[in-house]
Amino acid sequence: MLSLMLLAFLLADPAVDAATHEFEALRAEPNVPRTPGRCAALEGAVKQVLETAKLTGEVTDACIVRFMAVGEHPVAVLAKKLDAKQVRLVFDADYLIENPYAAASFDREERTLRVPLKFVIEPTVDDPVLEHELVHVAIWAAAQVDDKTLVAYLRGDPFKPNDLGLDEMRAYAEDLARAARELKKTCGKASPQAWPAIYENRQKGEPRMDGLSGCDALFDRAVSKVVFGKNHTEPALPALEALTHVAMASEVSGDHPETILRSTATIGDAAVPFELHLVTLAAKKTAKDDATYVKALLGQAKAHQVLWQKCGETLEKLTHATAKNLSSTLDTLVKRAKPPTATPVLK
C-alpha cells in the first residue's frame, strides 16, 4: 500500500523498508503456495523493526510474529496483560493478505488480537484501531469471570456478511468519546471551514476524504464514529424489540453454553428471520433468564441510539460554529459523548 511505502520512506529505517517491501511482495502474489519458509524474510524484518523499538517479536507460526511481554515498552506491558487473559498480540501476514481491508481484529475463538503492519512500524497503545479492538477484548475477558456479562451477537441476512456483535456499538461509543476529547483538546481555535463537506461526505456513507490532516482529520474521525456506531445499532433495535414480544424457544449448543433465540423482525423493508446468540463464558451463578438479558441488550441499544443522535446533532452544529461558540460546542460534544455502558477495565 502506498501509505505504508510512504511511511517507510519517511522513517528512513532499513528494517522498516525491508518489512514493507517483503509484505508488499507477498500481497502482490497472494496465490503463491504457502511453504514454511515463504515469509522468512518478512518475519526477520518485522522482528528487526520491533527490536529497534525496544520490543521483542517471536515467530510462533509461518507468517506470524507475536509481540512478547518483554521490557517496559507500553506495548510490551499490554502484551503482558493480554497474556494473562491467554490472548496473543500478533502480526499475521496471511490474515492481512486474505483480508486486505482489515485493520486490527480480535478473534475470541482463537484468542488472538491481530494488528496491521502500520502498528509494527509505529507501535503505540494509543492507536485508535487497537483501542477499538481492546474494548472487545475487555468485554470478552469480563465474560470469563462474570456470568452477567455475555458475548451476544445477531445472525441472519440483514447482518451479513458477518454476524453483528452487540459489543460493537460499545466499542464505537468508546471510539467516539476518545475522538471528542481529542477534538476538544486540539481544535478549540480551529477553522471549521472544511467541516460541512466532511460531515456531508460521511453522512452519505462515503469513506474518508483525501488529503485530510490536523483538525479536519480529527473532525472526520468523530463523525465517522457516529455513522459507524449508528449503522451497527439500527439493525439491532427491531431484532431485539421483536424478541421481547414473543415466547422465546431456545436451544443450547457449543463448547460454552450458547443460547440461540429465533424470531422474525422487520429490518429495512422486509420481515426477515434472525437469531440472537447469547454466549455464557463464566460459570452460571445468577438466575437471570433469557428475557432479562434480551431486555438489557435492548436497553443498551436504545441508549446508544440516543448517543448517536445527540452527538450527530452536535457535530452538525460544529459545521457552522463561529470562533465565539466553537469551544463551548466542543465542550457539549465531550459531555454528550460519554458511553452509555461502561467498558470493563482490562487488568
Mean pLDDT of 316-333: 97
Q: Full-prediction pTM beyond 0.85?
A: yes
Alpha carbon distance 67, 64 (integer Å): 10
Question: What pLDDT is recorded for position 253?
Answer: 63
How does pLDDT run across 66-110, given as a tens digit for each residue? Answer: 999 999 999 999 999 999 999 999 999 999 999 888 889 999 999
**One-letter amino acid of 228:** F
pLDDT for 222-262, tens place per residue? Answer: 999 999 999 999 999 999 999 988 756 666 666 677 888 98
Consecutive H or E run containing 319: none
Tell me what the mean pLDDT of segment 60-71 comes to. 95
Cell of 204: 452519505
Mean pLDDT of 174-178: 98
Mean pLDDT of the chain: 91
Neighbours of 69 (CB within 10 A): 17
Alpha helix positions (H), 146-261: 168-186, 195-203, 214-233, 236-243
Q: Give the model's pLDDT for residue 43.
A: 96
Q: Say yes or no to pLDDT of 112 above 50.
A: yes
Q: What is the 3-state secondary structure (H, E, C) of 256-276?
A: CCEEEEEEEEEECCEEEEEEE
- Contact of 311 with 176, CB cutoff 8 Å: yes
Going by DSSP bridges, is the β-strand pair 88-92/64-67 parallel, antiparallel, or unpaired?
antiparallel
SS3 321: coil
Residue 137 has pLDDT above 80, yes or no: yes
Per-residue confidence (pLDDT) for residue 7, from 0 to 100? 52
> Is residue 2 predicted with pLDDT exceeding 60?
no
DSSP string over 40-72: HHHHHHHHHHHHHTT--EEEEETTEEEEP--SS
